[in-house]
Homo-oligomer: A and B are copies of this chain.
Amino acid sequence: MKKVARTEIPRKAIYRLSVYLRCLHRLENNRIHTVSSEVLAKAAGVKSTQLRKDLTYFGQFGTRGLGYDVKQLIEMISERLGTKSLQPVVIVGIGNLGRALLSYRGFEREGFEVVGAFDVQSGRFPKEAPIQVQSMKVIPKVIDEHLVKMAILCVPPTAAQEVTNQLIEYGVVAILNFAPIVLSVPDEVTVNNVNLAMELENLSYFINE
């Protein structure tokens, strides 16, 4: 169900849009209503030519000499990123990391609502948790009910591909993968990988140098 008319934005540019959005929110909180491309670019750690190029994905706007309207730019970027309304997500695999993410209350502030948490051993978890950990069998029901398109995957690497296949079958099209394996998915599904241990290992190399 792709919309056709949209210009496709490269993935790296989308990350930068997220950075711009955060900078703009800080400006808004400080009651700054307009910002030049130079100032915004500096806050985001990019060149102003880069910023201007990224913003051309939204068509031409900003008045020469006056800069960008902070509020308007926030609206446009949020809409494009799809975070204007709360996006429902599920967390699958409640081991150490899944539990940590479940206890992390920062997602909602950023536009994401955890509507379900699932584990093969759902019986192990206390019923009074803020989000009840449910059996994997309930996943399709919850996904249907909340129109979930996005999943956070924290299962062990040995189970990751199988669970991914199921999630895709149920309608998930975007996966934030914390399992340290390379997932095979069809073209229409997007996977972003986060591997904390690998990030640390990567840093460790530079320490040793």
- Chain A residues with CB under 8 Å of chain B are 2-3, 6, 8-9, 11, 14-15, 17-19, 21-22, 26, 43-45, 80-83, 87, 89, 96-97, 99-101, 103-107, 110-112, 149-150, 157, 173-176, 180-182, 190, 192, 194-209
Contact = CB atoms under 8 A, between A and B. Distances in A.
Nearest to A149: B207
B45 A81 contact: no
A41 to B, nearest CB: 11
Given A19-B182, A22-B180, A96-B104, A199 B194 contact: yes
Contacts of A26: 157
B96 A197 contact: no
The 3 closest A-B pairs by CB, nearest first: A45-B182, A82-B208, A110-B197
8 contacts: A15-B202, A22-B181, A81-B201, A99-B104, A107-B197, A110-B197, A176-B200, A194-B196
